[in-house]
Structure 1
């Protein structure tokens, strides 16, 4: 749609392009096949990348600057941290979808007194993240090997910031896109909490994903990040620009962040989800395709690799 292109800019994928290009310039350090992914770790000094193979293409999940552990080379990961200027408090952070762990590790390094919990389904991904991406267990930094939705169902904890960045190739697993899932996320937010999610806008599910999030969270802000869209969702009234700017300045000073929150509101966009030409009027709200009694079996089916 023309209006979407005006608002969001060119929608080229932030995920690195075809496998042929990647393999021409990068050295393969290790590849492993797990129950959930075909995983490749490449090196092109000073960078290492974790990639997942899907339908004969390679999609980059995480990039690590081996000479600077506080670097976030992939643009959208920087905008995931914009959530810090929305949350009323920052006493706890949850990330669903760990990959190489660079976003969670960045937050841990700059907010060492704040507990950061990440949830990663694939144990092989965790193994490679620890081996190649400078990740290790530390006080206030924990990675749980679990499906993100099941983790929330089993947890009684609430979080000030919840980050959702779980992908298989170009798609978010469906059970992490439904109205019931976002209601579960809402139930695990602390008072004044916020959710940030990376959503690839060129897929056919983008419009439905935005509509679905909006059924649970009345407020949505969008940040364009080199082709990807980071959606910040929250309850209550719209956060005014001057309020975001004040809190951004306060938290930049408190945390000394490498990527300043004060620089991010310039990319903030507000759109009418249920009207206008940006989100398709006929986009469907996504809901679970299984009854509660079938929960475990259905989530397992969604998680497995396609044949």
Structure 2
């Protein structure tokens, strides 16, 4: 859905006001991972749990040369360490009163745990293909399920189809199923995003962790735009870009700012600040000259930067 003229007029004014604020670094914690404390080869990947020399930080990695999937500060476990997790939680700026959340990709479970801390009555479904990842999240990253926090060990596409048949709906969907070296191609197609669109409530929000540069970034944008229309983007240090969509069209940035202020005190617990994130919100430029990724055309891994 296209933005209305009064919404479009709001964007340059508010964006200018936000960018006039002091520059915020939004840097991730800097630390060197030296000690492997656990390793497991699952059916899908080599899972490593690595700690910093002083024992303050613990991270999950998929192979020694891969990027960090999840990190926690052991003395401050509620604080979000990686920028992309903070960016994904900014979906709450567009969903002021969520009741049900779907998370695709578990990692160490920091996102469902953060959401559960925010609201213990929030219904959270997390889908993870690899049972070994779930086991390591429980044993090394303090991930805990209960009546409101549920883990579904299966392919996300299968789970989404099942939820469609049940007419399930979610206020927020967070997509975090990719890394720098591999993408499940069937989770980055127009058809899959159409399925996710059907699960959203009327004001439901989708936030996806994507690439900020390279050929794949343009194809990602084109594919999300083909389903949702206009998008907001938040670019983060480290090569991550969070795309935000809403089922029935984007709210104006003034509404995003208003809801961000309402969340400010509660999200500060996790190290989030609207002063960091709001200046990064902008409209995702329309992707032109690139093909939409579909179930018939999905060369995502060939497009990796």
Q: TM-score range by the shorter chain?
A: 0.7 to 0.9
The correspondence for 2:56, drawn from 46, 52, 66, is 46
Provide the secondary structure at the position in 1 that maps to 2:66: strand
Provide the secondary structure at the position in 1 that maps to 2:242: strand
**Stretch of structure 1 that moved more, 228-237 or 76-85:** 228-237
Residue 169 of structure 2 corresponds to residue 158 of structure 1: yes
TM superposition shift of 1:59:
2.1
Unaligned runs of 5+ in 1: 1-13, 275-280, 291-301, 303-307
Question: Distance between the aligned counterparts of 1:110 and 1:27, measured in 2?
Answer: 32
Question: Distance between the aligned counterparts of 1:164 and 1:195, measured in 2?
Answer: 8
Contact kept, 8 Å, 1:63 with 1:100, in 2: the verdict is: yes
The correspondence for 2:205, drawn from 194, 212, 225, is 194
Superposed CA offset, 1:139-179 (max 9, x none): 31111111111110111221000000002543331111100
Residue 282 of structure 2 corresponds to residue 269 of structure 1: yes
Unaligned runs of 5+ in 2: 1-26, 301-305
Question: Distance between the aligned counterparts of 2:269 and 2:127, measured in 1?
Answer: 23
TM superposition shift of 1:255:
6.8
Contact kept, 8 Å, 2:93 with 2:256, in 1: the verdict is: yes
Residues 244 and 285 (structure 1 numbering): CA distance in 2 closer, same or farther, change over 3 Å?
Answer: same
Provide the secondary structure at the position in 2 that maps to 1:113: coil
Question: Distance between the aligned counterparts of 1:151 and 1:220, measured in 2?
Answer: 25
Provide the secondary structure at the position in 2 that maps to 1:58: coil
Provide the secondary structure at the position in 2 that maps to 1:80: helix
Provide the secondary structure at the position in 2 that maps to 1:99: coil
TM-score, structure 1 as length reference: 0.80
Superposed CA offset, 1:170-227 (max 9, x none): 3331111100000000011112001000002345321111100101101200011112
Residues 170 and 98 (structure 1 numbering): CA distance in 2 closer, same or farther, change over 3 Å?
Answer: same
Question: Distance between the aligned counterparts of 1:189 and 1:259, measured in 2?
Answer: 28
Contact kept, 8 Å, 1:64 with 1:73, in 2: the verdict is: yes
Q: How many residues get paired?
A: 268
Contact kept, 8 Å, 1:223 with 1:267, in 2: the verdict is: yes
1:231 matched residue in structure 2:
243
Provide the secondary structure at the position in 2 that maps to 1:239: coil
Residues 271 and 255 (structure 1 numbering): CA distance in 2 closer, same or farther, change over 3 Å?
Answer: closer
2:140 matched residue in structure 1:
132
Contact kept, 8 Å, 1:178 with 1:212, in 2: the verdict is: yes
Question: Distance between the aligned counterparts of 2:118 and 2:291, measured in 1?
Answer: 39
Residue 119 of structure 2 corresponds to residue 106 of structure 1: no
Alpha-carbon RMSD across the aligned residues, in angstroms, is 2.8
Residues 137 and 167 (structure 1 numbering): CA distance in 2 closer, same or farther, change over 3 Å?
Answer: same
Runs of 4+ in 1 over 4 A off after TM superposition: 253-257
Question: Distance between the aligned counterparts of 1:15 and 1:164, measured in 2?
Answer: 20
2:14 matched residue in structure 1:
none
2:157 matched residue in structure 1:
149
Provide the secondary structure at the position in 1 that maps to 2:58: strand
Question: Distance between the aligned counterparts of 1:218 and 1:86, measured in 2?
Answer: 16
TM-score, structure 2 as length reference: 0.80
Provide the secondary structure at the position in 1 that maps to 2:215: coil
